[in-house]
Structure 1
Amino acid sequence: MRREDAGLSRRDALAVLAAAPAEMLERLWRESDLPDEATVLRGPETGLVALRGRIGGGGSPFNFGEATVTRASVKLATGEIGHAYALGREREKARISATIDALRQQAEFAAQVEEKILAPLRRWLAERDEQRRAEIAATRVEFFTMVRGED
């Protein structure tokens, strides 16, 4: 049974897993007591992806550079397949994320994955973003123009 209605969409859940720090994800995974019995279909393997950019968001696209990415795919004994990509060389993070993706597709584990892993990660990411916004706001400079009394 597919569980797109359990909290986040699959895309959003994978985005949370990809943005999470590896150490935090691994700690939450160990504490979750979720089954870790998945067959590795691919990887985890590390490679490069090409990055493209645009000047000002509207210019012609150009090759900006490359980024290191690690991917993994796993299959549960019940047939669900999970996939994950993560920036960097964190092989265990990619494997755990793929396993979480597969477990989340099972009705019996979807709520547990949401409660024990995804919800704490979303809270942490929101707090981090709010802290960054506050730091940026503290350095904001307001410019104004004074008008001389002459016409």
Structure 2
Amino acid sequence: MTTAETIAARKDRMGVLARSTNARLQERWSVLGIDPDYGLLRGPEFGLVMLRGRIGGTGEAFNIGEATVTRASVKLEDGAVGHAMMLGREPAKAELSAVIDAVCHDAGMAARIDQDLIESIRLELQASDETRRSQTAATRVDFFTMVRGED
């Protein structure tokens, strides 16, 4: 894998981990039977990040508000370092996500984790998103304007 592909795979993996629930992540991780020795480099700790937005897609960026995040960094016995940051206050989830990130520095382990852990969580998230979309679509209201024909 090239460096760009490795970075893209890591970004995708961490995105799935961040969107997963802590309970589901812990459950799927325990099934894998991977239990590396590691030490904490940082955290898990809570903090705030500033959210920024634009109006109309072309407007000037402005600060919307702040969001709580949890981050953690770990170092495995073999020297691999993993980092994780996610919305909310879930220290156990951030720590486990950082461990998964560190373990995935090994290409073989990354392939196993992507296949056995990430893909199953991704499918659950897609199903949940589809359910939410269908529930939202059921409440959709289409507004239209009638032209009176006057000039």
Instruction: Give the TM-score, by structure 1 length.
Output: 0.85
Deviates more, 1:72-81 or 1:133-142: 133-142
Alpha-carbon distance in 1 for matches of 2:145, 2:41: 63
Gaps of 5+ in 2: none
Q: Which residue of 1 aligns with 2:116?
A: 116
Name the residue aligned to 1:64: 64
Counterpart contact for 1:3–1:104, Cα < 8 Å: no
Instruction: State the one-letter code of the partner of 1:12.
Output: D
Map of 1:134 onto structure 2: 134
**CA distance in 2 between partners of 1:5 and 1:52 (Å):** 28
CA–CA distance in 2 between the matches of 1:56 and 1:146? 26
Q: 1:66 to 1:146 in 2, by over 3 A?
A: closer
Classify 1:16/1:148 alpha carbon distance in 2 versus 1 (closer, same or farther; 3 Å): same
CA distance in 2, matches of 1:2, 1:90: 33
Tell me the TM-score normalised to structure 2 length: 0.85
Aligned-pair RMSD on alpha carbons? Answer: 2.6
Aligned pairs for 1:2-81 (under 5 A) are 9-81=9-81
Structure 1: stretches of 5+ with no match in the other structure = none
20-29 or 95-104, larger mean C-alpha shift: 20-29
Shift, 1:116, TM fit: 2.5
Higher RCO structure, 1 or 2 (CA under 8 Å, sep 6+): 1
